[in-house]
A and B are shown apart, each in its own frame.
Chain A
Amino acid sequence: GAVVSQHPSWVICKSGTSVKIECRSLDFQATTMFWYRQFPKQSLMLMATSNEGSKATYEQGVEKDKFLINHASLTLSTLTVTSAHPEDSSFYICSADRGYNEQFFGPGTRLTVL
C-alpha cells in the first residue's frame, strides 16, 4: 500500500511554545488530507480536513487559530499547534486520500507539553 509519513514521531515542548507536525504522502499525491487527535484509551477524533490550495475545514469545537493547517502541495500538509498547553498533549495522526476511496494513515506524532 501507499506510504504516509509524519515528522516528528514524538516531540516534547514547553507550555506556550508552538509545534509543527508534518504529514507527507511519499508515493502518491493527495488532494485531501485529514488530521486526527487521539487521547489515551480513546478513539480517533477528526480535527480538520485539509485540501490542497484551500483553507482547511475544522470540526466543531476545534479552534482554527490554535491548530493551524497548511496544505501547500499535493504531498505535504502541516499542523501547527500554537501556544501549546499540557491539555494539548495527545497523539496526532494524519491520513491522506489517494482517491479511489483509499485513505492511508501516518504513524502518528506523540506530543507532550510540559
Chain B
Amino acid sequence: DAKTTQPTSMDCAEGRAANLPCNHSTISGNEYVYWYRQIHSQGPQYIIHGLKNNETNEMASLIITEDRKSSTLILPHATLRDTAVYYCIVRVETSGSRLTFGEGTQLTVNP
C-alpha cells in the first residue's frame, strides 16, 4: 500500500471548515483514498473514500487532485465532537484487504 503523509496536528475554530491535507504521491492506479478518524480511546470510524472523483457524504467531503497525488478531507462545519485523530489511508479496494494506519493528524476543534 502507498505511504501517506499528514501534518501531525491542526487546530480549527468551532463552526468553521476544517481542511485536512494528505499526500500520497506514490499511489497506484487501483488504490483508493480512505479516511478514518479515531476519537480518544475508541475504535476508528469510517468517514469517506474515493478513487479520483470528489466525494461527499453526510460527514465530510473528499477532494482528490487530478494527479491523485494528494487529497483534502473537508469537515464543513466543525464541532467540538470532531476533535479526533484523522487517518488518511490508501488501499486496494478488494474485500479482505488490510488497512495500514500511519500517524494521522490530531485535529483539535476549539470553542
Contacts and interface: CB of A to CB of B under 8 A. Distances in A.
A34 B98 contact: yes
Contacts of B21: none
Interface residues of A, number: 28
Contacts of A32: 95-96
Contacts of B110: none
Contacts of B102: 43
A103 B99 contact: yes
Contacts of A107: 42-43
Nearest to A101: B93
Contacts of A95: 43-44, 99
A27 to B, nearest CB: 15
Contact of A43 (B45, B95, B96, B101): B101
Contacts of B42: 107-108
Contacts of A108: 41-43
Interface in A20-43: 31-32, 34, 36, 43
Contacts of A45: 101
A6 B41 CA distance: 13
A34 to B, nearest CB: 7
Interface in A28-73: 31-32, 34, 36, 43-46, 49, 51
Interface of B: 32, 36, 38, 41-46, 49, 87, 93-104
16 contacts: A6-B43, A34-B98, A43-B87, A43-B101, A43-B104, A46-B100, A49-B98, A93-B43, A95-B43, A97-B96, A100-B95, A101-B32, A101-B94, A101-B95, A106-B43, A108-B41
* Top 9 A-B pairs, shortest CB-CB distance: A105-B43, A32-B96, A44-B101, A101-B93, A43-B101, A105-B44, A99-B95, A107-B43, A108-B43
Interface of A: 1, 4, 6, 31-32, 34, 36, 43-46, 49, 51, 91, 93, 95, 97, 99-108, 110
Given A31-B96, A46-B99, A106-B43, 8 more contacts: A32-B96, A34-B99, A36-B101, A51-B96, A100-B95, A101-B97, A105-B45, A107-B42
